[in-house]
Structure 1
Amino acid sequence: MKVIREKFHNQLVTMPRLFPINCYLIKEQKFMTLIDCSKKGESRKIIDVIQSEGCPLKHIILTHAHSDHIGDVDKIKKVFPKAEIILSEKENQDLNHKERKLSPLPVQVDRLVKEGDYVGSLLVKETPGHTRGSISLIDLRTHFAFVGDLIQTKGGNAIAGDRRFIFPFPAMATQDKTAAIQSFEKISKDQYARYYCGHGSYLENNSEKIQRMIARGNAKIN
């Protein structure tokens, strides 16, 4: 696992060259929040990074319920039993209705969130598309957006549902391509400094790149 350390967060990257899967450790003054949990088999590495920071883990937020994002969340919860497991209300509803494209959670959800809720310094934004209940988290200190699989940069910048030949997997798992484009249009209007995704490096705020992504996405569904 590759660890990219920044002032307010660490980016933890599983298989950075072949099949990068990102999760993020958000560092607050007195606690930390983990966004996503990578895939199964990575929990020990994630736990080691958390423990190396010497600060309690207070929250585990899942941007959506796919196997490469929930990973071994139960094993992480076992080591940090006071950490809240957080999921969106809509994603939880779909899990309860056994939506076939979602991966069942191996642990109980402690808190459900919706648009406008806060988790520490993170603001919750509902960004459906990749899944109906997908959320993004905005760090209000840095103006960074952590968007799960709403976009990808591995294989080329693309909105969820826009299949890239080199890395087609997020597109293959996307539930609603039109909703994903609408979500990215909505969130990009706020012009966040960076967009951190589930697969690939971050996307700098660049209106030309963003408009190309939106145009390409729309062309694929029209």
Structure 2
Amino acid sequence: MNRNPDLIRHEDGIVWTEGIGNLDYVREYLEVAAGTRRGPVRWNGHGRRVGYSVLKPDAPAGEAPFRFARRVFWIKEHDRSEQPDGVYKDCAPSEGVDPRTVAAGVWGELTERAWGGPLPTASTRSAATSKSGPQQNLIKVGESLTSGTAFIGVAPTKQGLVDIYIDCASGSQLGDGRHVISELLPPDQACELLTTIIKTTPWLQEALALSVVDGWLAGDFPK
């Protein structure tokens, strides 16, 4: 996610719809097409929203008229707050931030509390979480509905989990409304998530098909 401070400089405050005392981390997401400056930001993704930013009354619209860039904070059913001994027991998703570091106009930060222990080095984090692991094996796919390139990475980890990373091109989204997926999941849950995303995202279906065809034409046939 682009963490340019200019993207959130018109924020006027943060509204938490749940207490953050028991949340070691929350997922931070920038909704670029919110329909209001200060009302609740609708959340269509998986999991549940626990907070959102509000903008100054005179905050300008974004690229589309009457659409505003606002942050949403959310958690998923397999996050540490919901499953303390789950897949994020001693790590955090790539979009995870400590809610105590969040303020108006300030991006959240990853802390030891959010991570669940001492912060890892780049090499250990690469092996433990989805922030950098799958991005070492990304494939690029062109999108048919917008200019730009999407990036997809799926890789097994030494812990027996599957590291998933999908980053849409600018202006596009997946079937559930997200722009980025970064998850560390058991194989059965990973299979279910990937199948659902592909089934509900026409541009991704076409992009993956074209990628496979290009590989065939280049002589990269399945062995």
Q: Which has the higher helix share?
A: 1
- Which of structures 1 and 2 has the bigger CA Rg? 2
Question: Shared fold (TM-score greater than 0.5)?
Answer: no
Q: Which has the higher contact order (CA 8 A, sep 6+)?
A: 2
